[in-house]
Structure 1
Amino acid sequence: MGKFLSLSHVLILIFLMKSSIFCPHLHAMPPPNPIQCNATSCTLHNAYGVWGDRRDCGSSKLVYPATEEELRLAVANANQNNLKVKFKLEGAFKRSITLNFTKDEGIEDEYMEHGKKYEFGDIGWYPSAYTAVYRYDQRLPLTTSGDAVNDFLGFQSQSVLVSSATRAIEKLNESNRDVKGKCKMAETFMVYRKLIANGLKNKKLIFTGYPVIGTQAKMQTSGSCLYSSPLRPDLTCGWDPRIKGLKFYETTAIFPASKFGDFIRDVKKLRDLIK
């Protein structure tokens, strides 16, 4: 894989940097509310609108309890009407997150210890870039200083033009079977993710350094483009089905923990065949 990026990839990277760093308060046209209610029932729609197995969910009623008493009433009503509601409340806490972008050497031998050491830790892997992203993610007391948010890059407001151009380049690389083009594009976005810590923001504004500390509610959830003004139709969620923007294919493979290292080794062997 070459060390230099094509002009189109560089232009996309520069545009994204300007949009997120120099204009951090840009907002987008939000997609339709996935929850629609009428006089008799409510329906939760699949926001992505891609997979047939993610069917709509129906409910006789929708409630947003704002107090403990309202929550108790909602649960009591669900029990009285034989609705399936069972959960346990946990006390509030904060989390400290650090992302370490490093070489993927030894990842197949380190994932077990990493999982044991960090309660919320995970590892992101970019095989074509020979890079692993270790997330050091620990629970902290609520009294710990820090008011950060997880404004995940993929769920931020994005330019419709950039989203469309990105998809066009991806389709071109796919139709031309351009492996190097795919790798260069992946490297472009990985560099950008590292620069902005994948959307982690200290004090809710921009990323200024690790560790990034915030409440569980603000570090676990993300989706700023969903709560933005509809006055900017040139901006939207990158995955908004109303535009020809980003489209994701997601699949899952499940392995016993003891076998996962073998899977990583096999993928590395396949990767190394197309250097």
Structure 2
Amino acid sequence: MASSSPSWWCRASSPPDPVQCASGTTDCTVTNAYGVFPDGSTCCAAAAAYPASEQVLLRVVAGATASRTRTKVATRYGHSVPKLAFPGGGDGRGLGISTNALNRVAVDAKRRAITVESGVTLAELIDAAAEAGLLLPHSPYWLGVTVRGLLSTGAHGSSVWRTGSAVHEYVTGMRIVTPAPAREGYAKVRVLNAGDPELEAAKHEFADILWYPGHGKAVYRIDDGVYDFVGFRPTPTLAIQANRLAEDALEVTGNAGGKFLTASATTTLLAAGNYGLTRHGLLAPLPGTPVVGYQNRIQSSGSCLTGADDALLTACLWDPRVEHGMFYFQAGISVPLSKAAAFIRDVQRLRDLNPDALCGVELYDGVLMRYVRASTT
């Protein structure tokens, strides 16, 4: 039996680009951060485009619209897990538009305003603000999202109970390139400003809770958390593979008790290390003691993304290039907030019928519960 441990290295091979083309920018495949979609299918695209400016993006969208080519946007790290990321259904005839080159940031320190392109990552946004003596008031706890991704998929904050804790509440305007009729050149730039109802429609939100029903525990994550989360740090690939082999052995032997103990050890180790909270990046503080630091260094984490390449000696835990490494299967359901309590009681009843049945779920994040407020537009 093996369990995850809060040990890490300061280097890591950065994750691969989710868009890979066999010949230049044609004959491409589009995947996600895990290297596989939930049903194991492969997403093929006829071509990929890498616009580096709004003008070039406008031409790309216009060309696709005129030729009736279906398109989807691909981001730097590909954290769109479901098949919604497939261009044209993934049948090899669509176009993937990468935002990797749309990565410029302009800071106006006097107005305390930042203008960014859609491919700017959260890490780049936080760093740019810090260099100008500013800070992003709230952010997700994972650095590997782009501005476009975190706004359009809701990967940030929540205003379910109150205002002020979601990234989108600080967005004052957007410029969006959309398809258009032939008389408008097949594509146009739409400018959305504060007060425009369409601006609200372009923004979503969520936050989350980790629930371990077998252990009767829940972990509530505050999006401006003060930590470099252990699960987002560089991990030796040998440790990743050893953990997977141990998990496979437990699965083959039907050892539910072993899974339960492994899950317990993992959560205990994470808690002992304060989930990655450190003083000066070295030692975990004692529980209940304050930690003082710069906002840009403590509000989000993802150090496995930015290390120098080390020939895959270390990597993010989920890196698909690690042979026989971790495999993440994600399936989700939507439950109205009014039914959330009933859902929890149903799961508790299932657990009580067979206390060992949910041990496998708890090896990692348990039941990840994300709560979202519906759009008012």
Fold agreement, TM-score > 0.5 = yes
- Structure 1 residues 268 and 239, CA, compared in 2 at 3 Å: closer, same or farther? same
Q: CA deviation at 1:157?
A: 1.7
Q: Deviations over 1:69-117 (max 9, x none)?
A: x3x324433454355699xx9958322789xxxxxxxxxxxxxx99424
Write the distance in 1 (CA, Å) between the matches of 2:293 and 2:352: 35
- Structure 1 residues 206 and 97, CA, compared in 2 at 3 Å: closer, same or farther? farther
1:175 aligns with 2:252: yes
Q: CA deviation at 1:192?
A: 2.7
Structure 1 counterpart of 2:340, from 250, 253, 260: 260
Structure 1 counterpart of 2:63, from 81, 84, 90: 81
SS of equivalent residue, structure 1 residue 136: coil
Write the distance in 1 (CA, Å) between the matches of 2:217 and 2:291: 19
Q: Is the 8 Å Cα contact of residues 15 and 305 (structure 2) preserved in structure 1?
A: yes
Structure 1 counterpart of 2:243, from 141, 148, 166: 166
Write the distance in 2 (CA, Å) between the matches of 1:169 and 1:184: 12
Write the distance in 2 (CA, Å) between the matches of 1:184 and 1:244: 22
Q: CA deviation at 1:247?
A: 1.4
- Structure 1 residues 248 and 39, CA, compared in 2 at 3 Å: closer, same or farther? closer
Structure 1 residues 75-154: aligned runs within 5 Å: 75-82=57-64, 93-95=136-138, 115-117=160-162, 119=166, 121-137=207-223, 151-154=228-231
Q: Is the 8 Å Cα contact of residues 29 and 42 (structure 2) preserved in structure 1?
A: no
Q: Is the 8 Å Cα contact of residues 78 and 85 (structure 1) preserved in structure 2?
A: no
Structure 2 counterpart of 1:33, from 17, 37, 56: 17
Q: Percent identity?
A: 30
- Structure 1 residues 202 and 80, CA, compared in 2 at 3 Å: closer, same or farther? farther
Higher relative contact order (CA 8 A, sep 6+): 1
Q: Please tell me the residue identity of whatever aligns with 1:34.
A: P
Q: Please tell me the residue identity of whatever aligns with 1:116.
A: W
Q: CA deviation at 1:126?
A: 0.9
SS of equivalent residue, structure 1 residue 125: strand
SS of equivalent residue, structure 2 residue 138: strand
Q: Is the 8 Å Cα contact of residues 250 and 256 (structure 2) preserved in structure 1?
A: yes
Q: Please tell me the residue identity of whatever aligns with 1:62.
A: Y
Write the distance in 2 (CA, Å) between the matches of 1:189 and 1:28: 22
Q: Please tell me the residue identity of whatever aligns with 1:50.
A: V
Q: Which runs of 5+ in 2 are unaligned?
A: 66-70, 74-104, 106-112, 115-128, 130-135, 142-157, 167-205, 356-377
In the alignment, what sits opposite 2:265? 188
Q: CA deviation at 1:206?
A: 6.9
- Structure 1 residues 258 and 57, CA, compared in 2 at 3 Å: closer, same or farther? farther
Q: CA deviation at 1:237?
A: 2.9
Q: Is the 8 Å Cα contact of residues 97 and 135 (structure 1) preserved in structure 2?
A: no
1:44 aligns with 2:89: no
- Structure 1 residues 211 and 157, CA, compared in 2 at 3 Å: closer, same or farther? same
User: Considering only aligned residues, what root-mean-square deviation do their CA atoms show, in Å?
Assistant: 4.1
Q: Deviations over 1:163-216 (max 9, x none)?
A: 122112212222222222112211222223334454466777776556987459
In the alignment, what sits opposite 2:146? none
Paired residues, number: 226
Structure 1 counterpart of 2:43, from 47, 55, 60: 55
Query: Which has more helix, going by share of residues?
Result: 1
Q: Is the 8 Å Cα contact of residues 212 and 218 (structure 2) preserved in structure 1?
A: yes
Q: Deviations over 1:15-65 (max 9, x none)?
A: x33x33xxx52x2344543333544446533442333346245544113x4
Write the distance in 2 (CA, Å) between the matches of 1:121 and 1:202: 26
Write the distance in 1 (CA, Å) between the matches of 2:249 and 2:293: 37
Q: Is the 8 Å Cα contact of residues 25 and 47 (structure 2) preserved in structure 1?
A: no
